[in-house]
Amino acid sequence: MKLPTILTSLVVAIALCATIYCTLALKPNSINAFILFATWLSAPYLAMVIGLYFLHKRAGASVYWCALAVLISTGGIIYLLDVIYWHRDAQGAIAVVMTPILQMIACGIFAPLAWWLSRSKGR
């Protein structure tokens, strides 16, 4: 594996661990609720790791794809920390549930840019 892919996987893994910690901070009332929230909040990170794996396996994940994964991972953690710890609100639960959706929207917006930049770099 190339160094950017390894570092990106490390950042995404740290973000995944931080997400699990944030799930514990929500204090779910049962193990099933914890598993549901943890799975839902971890879905974007798992999708990014799987995507980077297949990109690396096929042609190598470019720096642009790695930067996109780091950007989305850190953005999601900062958003969760803001909603859960820094600016608590009565509607915070809705914001927490929306986090993976917002991360996937960001990925959908910036993925074509990363694809285009990685293609233009190869020419």
pLDDT digits 0-9 by tens, 28-83: 899 999 999 999 999 999 988 888 888 776 666 678 888 899 999 999 999 999 99
Mean pLDDT, to the nearest integer, of 111-117?
87
Mean pLDDT, to the nearest integer, of 102-123?
84
Give this prediction's pTM. Answer: 0.82
Mind spelling out the 3-state secondary structure of 80-95? HHHHHHHCCCCCHHHH
